[in-house]
Amino acid sequence: MEFLKGIQTRRSIRAFTHQTVTDEDIHIILETAMMAPSAVNCQPWHFIVIRDKDTFGKIMKVHPYATMLSTAQAAVLVCGDKKLQHDEGYWVIDCSAATENLLLAAHALGIGSVWVGVHPRESRKKAMRQLFNLPEHIEPLALVALGYPTETPEQPTDRYKPDRIHFEKW
């Protein structure tokens, strides 16, 4: 897929087919996530790969906007490591860059995905901590649901906003 077209055509996908997302594709997706930029190249991320349907069920019970997990074939919980980050708060930024890479890599492979927000909602973070036994220094950022799309969302035409662009000064 052509690079810019890939970035511009990525859309959140929330309905998936039964087709398996292979371990090989998960590997490529995570390899690409880990190529993201990070402050002082600290790479303060961890990824939990989830395929277990019971676990999806438990997440759906605690997360109000994760119903797409009912058809997802895999999911990745992106986590930040406070011991590895450059300085206080950097894990959020670095892991967000990794999450966007992850979404784009999935799209390039024809796999649909959606970013399911966890951070900064404390109740969701607490629930993820308990479900995945996260150590104290590990912070859950986002859950990404993955699978082959059954839907083709319309491409937005109105995201380019000239009034958001400023030249030289505000």
Residue 61 or 170 having the CB closest to ligand FMN:
61
Burial class (CB in 10 A: 0-12, 13-18, 19+), 55: middle
Interface with ligand FMN (CB under 6 A), residue from 50, 105, 114, 146: 114
For residues 59 to 88, the per-residue mask of contacts with ligand FMN, x marking binding by CB under 6 A and - elsewhere, is ------x-----------------------
Does residue 74 sit in helix, strand or coil? Answer: strand
Question: How many other C-beta atoms lie within 10 A of the C-beta of residue 132?
Answer: 15
Q: Is the dihedral of CA 8, 153, 49, 109 positive or negative?
A: negative
**Among the candidate windows 19-27, 48-56, 84-92, 111-119, which touches ligand FMN by CB under 6 A?**
111-119
Residue 22 or 67 having the CB closest to ligand FMN:
67
Please identify the residue of the shown chain whose CB is closest to the bound ligand FMN.
Answer: 117
**Among the candidate windows 78-86, 104-112, 114-122, 131-139, which touches ligand FMN by CB under 6 A?**
114-122
Interface with ligand FMN (CB under 6 A), residue from 25, 115, 134, 148: 115
Burial class (CB in 10 A: 0-12, 13-18, 19+), 12: middle
State the nearest-atom distance from the C-beta of 162 to ligand FMN, in Å: 19
| Residue pointed to by tokens 């069920």 | 57
Residues 94 and 101: beta-carbon distance below 8 Å: no
Interface with ligand FMN (CB under 6 A), residue from 11, 78, 138, 144: 11
